[in-house]
Structure 1
Amino acid sequence: MTDIFGVVADATRRELLQVLLERYLAPESATGDISVGELVEKLGLSQPTVSKHLKVLRDSGLVAVREVGQHRYYRLEPGPLDVVEEWLVPFLSVDSLGGGLEQGEASGAFAAWSGVQMPASLRRAGESLQHPSDAGAAVGRAMADATHGTRHRFEEASEAVERKVFDPIRKKLKKD
């Protein structure tokens, strides 16, 4: 399978994924499918360019294709993006372990990678444990809190984008 990070690194493919996501989430779209022609029209790109990028997305498992005669309809398959989400979570939850970072500190994943110090709150928590088994419980609680916080922030951000970006666009499109 293609490296998912390389696939989403391309701006044109991210634009395609955004349009596919909008269709996937649209309440009026029963299947979430969109034709190549519609993608060409929405993005203002040539058909060969759109088709080339859709092939990369298809090969990576990010889209599924349905053929009807000579027409192809594409649908988002978000599963492969789980890898990206899992990689991003530690970076997005940097301040979830104790009210923020002190200068020069970073999340556990980044600290391990870069050699930067761990957050003081996490370091103090580790030093205060009396039994090694407590560490697993503490890590589990921290992970659950971080995951919950991250999901909550994603939901809030998604709602804000919906209200501030997509709703005005939909209203404008309905007027036209």
Structure 2
Amino acid sequence: MTDIFDVIADGTRRDILQLLLRRSTEGESGTSVSQIVSELGISQPTVSKHLKVLRDAELVSVREDGQRRFYSLEVDPLEVVDDWLVPFLVDAFGEDAPDIDWTTVPLPDGAAHAAEVVGRAAASAKHVVTTALRRLGA
């Protein structure tokens, strides 16, 4: 399975995930590639490339209807991110750590930026550790 942090480190993929989340909370049973292209203003080949990465990471599922494909969000793989992130929140707040409740609204811009920074930092840290282990022959 692909490292979830590498997958969500990309801003375009996070935009697609947020779009799928929003549409699912609006009652949609799937979102077509053309709808994603239209709403995000990015090219169809770019959307398809990112959807393949998201499918490989099992973050989206696909339903075929004739020649059209409809994508839906799969949140279970994000539990890895949640499990990794929560200890940092507990360490930062100690006994005053807030209860974390899953909300189904898109992230505000500030939170989206923070998620991007954390995702990039995690991907960078993974690269540094992997490179160091290779050099050590481990």
SS in 2 for 1:151: coil
SS in 2 for 1:74: strand
Shift of 1:92: 1.7
Alpha-carbon distance change, 59 to 159 in structure 1, aligned in 2, over 3 angstroms:
closer
Counterpart of 1:9 in structure 2: which amino acid? A
Kindly provide the CA deviation profile for residues 47-92 of structure 1, in whole angstroms up to 9, marking residues without a partner as x: 0000000000000000000111110100000000000000000112
Q: Which residue in the other structure is 2:100 paired with?
A: 151
Q: Which residue in the other structure is 1:7 paired with?
A: 7
Counterpart of 1:17 in structure 2: which amino acid? L
Aligned-pair identity (%):
53
Kindly provide the CA deviation profile for residues 116-150 of structure 1, in whole angstroms up to 9, marking residues without a partner as x: xxxxxxxxxxxxxxxxxxxxxxxxxxxxxx5xx33
Contact 2:22 2:106 in 1 (8 A): no
Counterpart of 2:50 in structure 1: which amino acid? H
* Coordinate RMSD, CA, aligned: 2.3
Alpha-carbon distance between aligned partners in 1 of 2:42 and 2:58, rounded to the nearest angstrom:
22
Alpha-carbon distance between aligned partners in 1 of 2:107 and 2:13, rounded to the nearest angstrom:
23
Alpha-carbon distance between aligned partners in 1 of 2:11 and 2:66, rounded to the nearest angstrom:
30
Alpha-carbon distance between aligned partners in 2 of 1:85 and 1:160, rounded to the nearest angstrom:
15
Q: Which residue in the other structure is 2:56 paired with?
A: 59
Alpha-carbon distance between aligned partners in 1 of 2:14 and 2:33, rounded to the nearest angstrom:
16
Matched, 1:90 2:87: yes
Please, which runs of 5 or more residues in structure 1 have no aligned partner? Answer: 100-145, 162-176
Paired residues, what number? 108
Structure number with higher relative contact order (C-alpha < 8 Å, ≥ 6 residues apart): 2
Contact 1:92 1:150 in 2 (8 A): no
TM-score by length of 1: 0.56
TM-score by length of 2: 0.70
Counterpart of 2:21 in structure 1: which amino acid? L
- Stretches (4+) displaced over 2 A: 93-99, 158-161
Shift of 1:95: 4.2
